[in-house]
Amino acid sequence: MGYLAIPCGNNVALSVPLAIDAGLGQYGRHGLLITKQFGPRVRIAKILTDMPLIPDKPNFDFCRAVVRFCEACKKCAEHCPSQSISYDRGRTWQGETKSNNPGIRKWYINPETCYGFWVENGSDCSNCIRSCPYNKPNNILHKIVLWMVQHMPWLNRLIVKMDELAGFGRQVDPRTIWKK
């Protein structure tokens, strides 16, 4: 179409803040983007372009609901083997490591200990994604729960407890997977 298009990674600009500004979702406690449709199961890529586009607007109700839910949940922090995710209820403006980019109010993770675990383990663990209650199929039950989280936040702790009782987010024994 004749427009300039430049693919880029985090070396040009941070992907998650741009995705939030583009209306795709909100930061979770685990430092990942949480979207309404896919939860934290997204990988973000950017393309800088001079093509005229109509921007989306953030869903502020969804964003506020994610923050309130993450304040109550803490499952990602509990399941993090390197303890790189904050247990603090409130968000802060300043990260505590040299890899944090301060200036936005959020939960900061410790990328050094997280990546150190990856190196020691030989791969990432994705426990934060697996344990996140937003990590569900986009079906009618999930949509009902999302509606409850957004409109009845006083039930957030109960929803987390029900998520645990249902066994969501638990590590599955790999031997059972391979038997199938």
pLDDT tens sequence across 121-170: 888 889 999 999 999 888 899 899 999 999 999 999 999 999 989 888 77
Q: What is the pLDDT of residues 17-35, one digit of tens each?
A: 889 988 899 999 999 999 9
- Reduce the DSSP state of residue 39 to 3 states and report it: strand
For residues 173 and 178, what is the distance between their CA atoms, to the nearest angstrom? 9
Mean pLDDT throughout 55-67? 90
Does 77 score more than 90 pLDDT?
A: yes
**Residue where the block lists tokens 């994604």:** 129
Count of H-run helices and E-run strands, the chain: 8, 4
Question: DSSP label at 35?
Answer: B
Quickly list DSSP for 54-116.
------HHHHHHHHHHHHHH-HHHHH-TT--S---SS-BS--SSTT---SS-BPPP-HHHHHH
Residue 152 CB partners (closer than 8 Å, separation 6+): none
- b/e code 14-25 from CB counts within 10 Å (16+ = b): ebbeebbeeebb
CA atoms within 13 A on the CB side of 12: 10
- Residue 132's Cβ-count burial label (10 Å; 0-12, 13-18, 19+) is buried
pLDDT attached to residue 71: 96
